[in-house]
Amino acid sequence: MTSVPTPIPSRTQFVQEGIKHRILTGQLTPGQALVESELAAQFGVSKTPVREALKTLAGTGLVVMNQYKGVTVRRVDADMAREVYDVRLLLEPEALRRSVLRGASLAAAQDALTRADEASDTAERSLANREFHRALYTSCGNPLLGRMLDEVRDQAALVSAVAWAADPSWEREADEHREILRLALAEDADGAARALHSHIESFVRRAFPPAQEEDGQG
């Protein structure tokens, strides 16, 4: 019987994760051009894995590919933010509710919360925040639901990075995270889901408030 070799991270995956990390930690900002030759030199690879990585990142919504303008980091506007957070509002509280009802371990969420509190910079805190939210839904018992939330996770992190740069609100959100986790650990599935819904909804409303209607328009 032929043995199957253990897969190793490809150059494309290496570059993809590197670019994504830079985007989600604010090292690459919305609208910034992503030049294949420059990225290839930075990562020590040819342009081919960079090109493939950028195609994948375009598929996840983190970068935009334009025939004339090239590749840029996706810009965040109110419509984009509300679309992404609307999906989270529909799916994430229910996923957490199911995780709690299943008695899933929330040790990873607790660890992420601790790392966020002890973070020495914005990038580290942002990554810990992402891990906290993922830990709430990853054990919901429905792999498809988890994958759907994973698909919008990077875009949600991009929205958060832009919002935090304009108006840091770490402490408020950390308090809300602690309350969500407290309810979940107390096995209050519905209470934890409601608290998470409120947390997600209030964040996007603060960061991207509804536009005021112009005078004289209904």
The structure tokens 């190793």 sit at 8
Model pTM score: 0.80
First and final C-alpha spacing in the chain: 72
d(CA 85, CA 83): 6
- Which contacts qualify for 179-187: CB closer than 8 Å, 24 or more apart? 180/96, 180/136, 181/106, 181/109, 181/110, 181/113, 184/96, 184/99, 184/100, 184/106, 184/109, 184/136, 185/106, 187/100, 187/103
Per-residue confidence of the chain (218 residues) as pLDDT tens digits? Answer: 444 544 445 889 999 999 998 988 888 988 999 999 999 999 999 999 999 999 999 988 889 998 888 999 999 888 989 999 999 999 999 999 999 999 999 999 999 999 988 887 777 788 888 899 999 999 999 999 999 999 888 888 888 878 877 777 777 888 999 999 999 999 999 999 999 999 999 988 888 887 654 444 44
